[in-house]
Amino acid sequence: MPANDLLIQLADGAFHSGEALATQYGVSRTAIWKQVASLEKLGLEVKRVRGQGYQIEGGLDLLSEPAIRAGLDGDARTLLAQIDIHQSIDSTNAELRRQGAAPSGASVCLAESQSAGRGRRGRSWVSPFASSIYLSVGWRFQGGAEVLEGLSLAIGVLVCDALEDLGVQKLSLKWPNDVYLDGRKLAGILVEMSGDFCGPCDVVIGVGINVQLPEVMADKIEQPWSDLRSVADGSFTRSLLAAKLLNRILPALAVYEKAGFVRWRDRWQSLDAFAGRPVIVDNNGQRIAGKAQGVDERGALLLGTSSGVQRIHGGEVSLRLQEAAS
């Protein structure tokens, strides 16, 4: 009996007796008990009540490949080469980097949980089971890395657009790769590239979105954060959210080499969380104070300083408000 079968059964949030489950799957009650223990190793809390059985209180919103495919628009469906959903994995980005990009179209990897989820600058990404979106898209560009400047910023715009498609409001962007909900971090983007600077280049785009984080995770996150629970209230599934993301991201990747970031620049500026505010940029230990003045046509941060406007490019750079840094 695969543990995934039991997981799907318990995802409804109801009690299921061990005896009934054993009969249904043709195994012993001890086998059911062992499968429940394996689910608990994933970080799930399974209640055991004598006379009632096993329950995952509140149920789970599990990812479904058929539901994701059903939510895809025609363009995204055509561009999708493959999609894999894992119960648990080290990192969806790492998995696609191991696989390599498909010769044409997009390779997509999702997971219910990650054991080694990553953000920018080597930070860990808290990845509890069935509580968030952990999605990576692999794509092969022919024009080389130099034509991909600003890609992470464009993806931020597309994530906001996908969320707005589902009615989420009060979204903003922090340069270069964070999505905020009402001033708190909701999502992060990690773009990793390999290949020729001027030739074929494989890109993996990771998107992590907090959907309904368990309260016990709060102490593990080092900055003010938000999730969709307070604004979505179960109005859409994680599978539908994944489909909306792919509907926005895949067509954009198909035109990005020709369009470049400039196509999304105005939209990014309209979502800029720090526009016109005093900020401090930490660039490999060098701190520069100034006023955020948006981004240029290639996605570089425009920082107004006493010596003029400086262009700050990505890499090992962090940005914060001056009052938060004091």
CA distance 39 to 131: 15
- Residue 119 assigned as binding residue: yes
Selecting among 77, 267, 291, 320, the annotated active-site residue is: 320
CA distance 7 to 106: 29
Residue tagged 């938000």 (tokens)? 226
Of 219, 220, 237, nearest to 228 (Cα)? 237
- Residue 91 assigned as binding residue: yes
Indicate if 140 belongs to the active site.
no
Please state whether the peptide bond connecting residue 214 to the residue before it is cis, i.e. omega within 30 degrees of 0.
no
Q: Where in the chain does DSSP place strands (E)?
A: 47-49, 53-55, 80-86, 106-111, 132-141, 171-174, 178-181, 184-195, 201-210, 278-283, 286-295, 301-305, 308-312, 317-321
Indicate if 311 belongs to the active site.
no
- Residue 114 assigned as binding residue: yes
Amino acid in position 175: W
Local structure of 91: helix, strand or coil: coil
Selecting among 140, 174, 185, 238, the annotated active-site residue is: 185
- Residue 93 assigned as binding residue: yes
- Residue 92 assigned as binding residue: yes
- Residue 47 assigned as binding residue: no
Local structure of 171: helix, strand or coil: strand
Indicate if 120 belongs to the active site.
yes
What's the token pair of residue 6?
């039991």
Question: Measured in whole angstroms, how far is the alpha carbon of residue 64 from the centre of its chain?
Answer: 17
Selecting among 120, 140, 244, 265, the annotated active-site residue is: 120
DSSP character string of 259-319 = H-THHHHHHHHHHBTTTT-EEEEEETTEEEEEEEEEE-TTS-EEEEETTEEEEE-SSSEEE
Of 245, 250, 241, 240, nearest to 67 (Cα)? 240
Going across the sheet that includes 184-195, the strands are: 80-86, 106-111, 132-141, 201-210, 184-195, 178-181, 171-174
- Residue 267 assigned as binding residue: no
CA distance 221 to 186: 12
Catalytic residues: 120, 185, 320
Name the binding residues for biotin: 91-93, 114, 118-120, 185
Name the binding residues: 91-93, 114, 118-120, 185
